[in-house]
Amino acid sequence: MKFERSSGILLHPSSLPSKYGIGDLGPNAYKFVDLLVETKQKLWQILPLGPTGYGDSPYQCFSTFAGNPFLISIEKLIEESLLDENEPALKDNFNNKLVDYGRVINFKYAILRKAFLRFIESKDKQLKTKFNTFCDKNSSWLDDYALFMSLKDHFGGKPWSEWEENIKLRRPEAMAKYRKELADNINFQKFMQYIFFKQWFELKEYANTNEIKIIGDIPIYVAFDSSDAWSSPSTFYFDEDMNPIKVAGVPPDYFSKTGQLWGNPLYNWETLKETSYAWWIDRIRSINELVDIIRIDHFRGFAGYWAVPYGDKTAANGKWEKGPGAGLFIAIKNALGDLPILAEDLGFLTEDVHELRDKFGFPSMKILQFGFDSKEGSPYVPHLFTPNSVVYTGTHDNDTIIGWYKKAPEEDKHYVREYMNTDAKDISWDFIRHAWMSVAVFALAPMQDMLSLDSECRMNTPSVASGNWQWRFTWDQITPQVKEKLLKLTKLYSR
């Protein structure tokens, strides 16, 4: 699919300002869209929107189809009379610069439960009809997800692999028993999903009306402790007791002698092929409704992936296995048409990855920060870009530009200063300028780089289990100078 030259900001909704502890889909999200419009941006890139699990990571969600209830706007629930703005429970003093997930989870669940009780008591027939329509339309994933989350509550938050055997293995009598016993919580889970998607689609419509396109992220793998793995075991390499046979990872390399053990269940591509990749088509159809452009994470895994025997403590003993290749994307195209897809083609790439990406014309990713890292080599310097690519100053996994530059070897700093013809006093904006001036069709920068922030504001540090995904900005950081610089570059380089 052909894209138009444009630019934008990478910012997950959780990083938006809000007085309720975490950014959400309420007034500040609309204000952020207004900021994009004011500065002539056309793109808003977000991270996966699913309900976060282990480590609060949006890349380890309890479902690939569900939405994160903690992003639900309390202000919008008040507008709809599902909450009272004078509720004593709404009086809480949260950190406005970091998400304290422990407090937010307890706070929001309690508030959303109050809204659910108001919904149950409501005489608004239209509201309940819309809810029932939503449940019917999404029953293919929603019924299992709502039961899964209710079972997690019932079993004290344990992963499904540690539940009692009858329900772990989804035996019919156990499924019927728990659907009856947990009916109230199941309906509460469905209610939260209804509200999330209602608020999301209202926000998306506002963005689209203002000519802002949303780039959404789809991880290649799902979490082991997820409704997806529990409800569709034949999709994955599981044995008859629903234990993984092999799991995902990355092979040993320059950075890690034992590789990276991710632990996600691997797809049984042979079984998926027999269904014409129906599960994946449903997954792509779902995100295609949520966003305007799809970024597929770890694209190289579709050509070949690193499979590690389950139970291994490191990824060292894994081996390369062949992915579904073009067959999957042909099936997706036949079912859904020519979709706006970007390929996250970073990491160890072989020729078959390039061939797969180019066969379908998917733009590749260029991380400008990598272009000046002497350990990386450099297909990422701007003079080597092609128009069918997407350039980022950095991603959610990178340090900020300021943080990276401070820690970089002197030879890398010297290369940057020479290449960019700069004294590096405004290094974040030097990088943004070179991203915007490049031939890449899309240019994006994390909000942290727009605000020239240091390492303590990075979104994620890979391989570090805690303290990630917490960063938030405040509106007073968006100075007239920041807006002026962004607008000027966007006009200057025809973005």
Active-site residue, from 24, 225, 297, 345 = 297
For the record, the structure tokens of 345 come out as 């083609």
Neighbours of 421 (CB within 10 A): 7
Q: Is 344 an active-site residue?
A: yes
Active-site pick, 292, 397, 426, 454: 397
CB 315 within 8 A of CB 260: yes
Bridge partners (DSSP) listed for residue 45 = 10, 215
Q: Is 419 exposed, middle or buried (0-12, 13-18, 19+ CB in 10 A)?
A: middle
CB-based contacts of 49: which residues, under 8 Å, 6+ apart? Answer: 13, 58, 67, 68, 71, 200, 216, 290
End-to-end CA distance of the chain: 18
Give 92's contacts (C-beta < 8 A, 6+ positions apart): 20, 21, 103, 107
Name the nearest CA neighbour of 113 among 52, 163, 169, 188. Answer: 188
Cα–Cα dist 246/34, whole Å = 46
3-state secondary structure of 125: helix
Does 297 participate in catalysis according to the annotation? Answer: yes
Amino acid type, 348: F
How far is C-alpha 187 from the chain's CA centre?
Answer: 26
Token pair recorded at residue 192: 């939260």
Q: Sheet holding 364-367: strands in order across?
A: 341-343, 293-296, 213-218, 43-45, 6-10, 442-446, 389-392, 364-367
Residues in the chain: 495
Distances (CA, A) of 294 to 1, 276, 382, 397: 12, 21, 23, 18
Q: 228, 344, 399, 449: which is the annotated catalytic residue? A: 344
Beta bridge partners of 309: 246
Residue with tokens 């949006």: 58
Q: Report the catalytic residues.
A: 297, 344, 397
